[in-house]
Structure 1
Amino acid sequence: MVELSTTKDGIPNQAEASDRVLQILSEAGRLFATKGYDGTSMRDIAVACGISKSLLYHHFSNKDEIYARVAVGSTLELYLFVRDRVPDGPPSQKIRAFMVATAEYFRRYRWAWIASTTAFWNDPDRHRQKERLTRRDRFENFLRGLIQEAIDAGEIRKVDVPMTGRLILSSLNWMHRWYNPNKSATPEQIADIFFDMVFNGLRSGDAAAPPPAEPPKSSRRKARQTSRS
């Protein structure tokens, strides 16, 4: 689970990523996700890891440091994990690889994902909040770049790139709210299904496209007033 270990500036630190540290981060992520920050103590983390509190404090000075490494570090590592799994090739297949890799990260580090998601808007530390937003934007911009590539290559029609990116990420980001690991489909398989739905659409080839929805009444009134003036 090396993806959760980062230095203070957010750069992965392979040398520091001992098995013990990774075990602590993994167990802490599970506890933060299930019991919350306030409901998790250093003693809880030590017991879950099967180690003494003194050994836990040897690696981390306090609970907040562990929480920051789990909740903030995982946002960086998600980007690195996905980026390294998007191969060269047709832009549309890069989008598929992006979605499947994101789902794979969720499967591997589900507790860290949940803890990070929970902390995203609830963390009172404003510096960490800003850091997470910056890393989220980089992740979203990476996907938007792939979508724009697919448009430029003529593989998909001209769509609103930010809106399309939000659609794709929303389908993946909320998987933790309903995904059941005891079911047969893996997160990667679900992401593949999502890609097919997004890329190929839901309408069958023989079905006529529905007419565009009319704007709300208030919008129509404003349009008439504008045309009269």
Structure 2
Amino acid sequence: MKNLADILELDGPAGPPTERMLQILTEACRLFATRGFDGVSVRDIAQECGISKATLYHHFPDKDAILRPLVMGITRSLHQRVLRAIPAEAEPAEKLRAFMVESARFFEEYRWAFIVSSTVFWTDPQARQRRQRIEWRDRHEALLRIILEEGVQRGAFRIEDIGMAGRLVLGALNWMPKWYDPKGPLPASAIAEQFYDVLLAGVGARPDVITI
């Protein structure tokens, strides 16, 4: 997983996270993703980091304080990164490909963090934090709908329900971190390319093709 400093959103004027904070966040992220938030104790995180509980508490008062910057940072960073990857003047089909491939690359790089984020998206007790995450999620979904609508208007896509098509794309992408194997034969971007090809070509046989 890449350096979490690139995606974190930490509260307060303390500045960028220290190396110790990043170590705690990285190990906690992996543990939360593999065992579940409730299945991990502060002691577990401290042991994985090779530090005392007192040292961990010096940086984070509780598990929620560790989790919150991960969840917010993933939601915001995914949208911003995908937005930057989409060529402004490209055709709708190329924009859709860029949306899908860059999403897959992001998931591959921050797999554990995304799994944690998606698992606890709705459980943050701080209403303000939930609203902010929902706003970033809505921006991301709106970006995809704009691409699909542009494709319909230009005759590049044949879509009757933009919302349904968007959910199909996001559903395929958002589940990737849960089953994707980094040790497998294909990088996540190549899998997204295949998703894109299937989506544009469709799975129905052409009328003039005889299937057996």
Both structures adopt the same fold (TM-score exceeding 0.5) = yes
Give 1:24's aligned residue.
24
Is the alpha carbon distance of 1:124 and 1:66 closer, same or farther for their aligned partners in structure 2, counting shifts above 3 Å? closer
Post-superposition offset of 1:40: 1.4
Post-superposition offset of 1:175: 1.8
User: What does 1:192-211 align with in structure 2 at a 5 Å threshold?
Assistant: 192-207=193-208
Q: Bigger relative contact order, structure 1 or 2, given CA contacts below 8 A and separation 6+?
A: 2
Give 1:217's aligned residue.
none
Give 1:35's aligned residue.
35
Unmatched 5+ residue regions in structure 1?
209-229
Post-superposition offset of 1:24: 2.2
Give 2:10's aligned residue.
7
- Secondary structure in 2 matching 1:180: coil
For the Cα contact (< 8 Å) 1:5–1:22, is it kept in 2? no
Q: Does 1:53 align with 2:53?
A: yes
Unmatched 5+ residue regions in structure 2?
none
Aligned length, in residue pairs: 204
Post-superposition offset of 1:61: 2.3
TM-score, normalised to structure 1, is 0.79
Q: Kindly provide the CA deviation profile for residues 68-94 of structure 1, in whole angstroms up to 9, marking residues without a partner as x.
A: 112232111211222222223222111
User: What does 1:143-222 align with in structure 2 at a 5 Å threshold?
Assistant: 143-207=144-208
Root-mean-square deviation over aligned CA pairs:
2.4
- Output the amino acid matched with 1:21: M
For the Cα contact (< 8 Å) 2:108–2:177, is it kept in 1? no
Is the alpha carbon distance of 1:86 and 1:52 closer, same or farther for their aligned partners in structure 2, counting shifts above 3 Å? farther
CA distance in 1, matches of 2:24, 2:208: 54
For the Cα contact (< 8 Å) 1:25–1:66, is it kept in 2? yes
Among the aligned pairs, what percent are the same residue? 41
CA distance in 1, matches of 2:19, 2:177: 26
CA distance in 1, matches of 2:84, 2:40: 33
Give 2:110's aligned residue.
109
TM-score, normalised to structure 2, is 0.84
User: What does 1:29-108 align with in structure 2 at a 5 Å threshold?
Assistant: 29-88=29-88, 89-108=90-109
CA distance in 2, matches of 1:97, 1:56: 40
CA distance in 1, matches of 2:43, 2:99: 38
Q: Please list every run of at least 4 consecutive aligned residues from structure 1 whose deviation after the TM superposition is greater than 6 angstroms.
A: none
- Secondary structure in 2 matching 1:72: helix
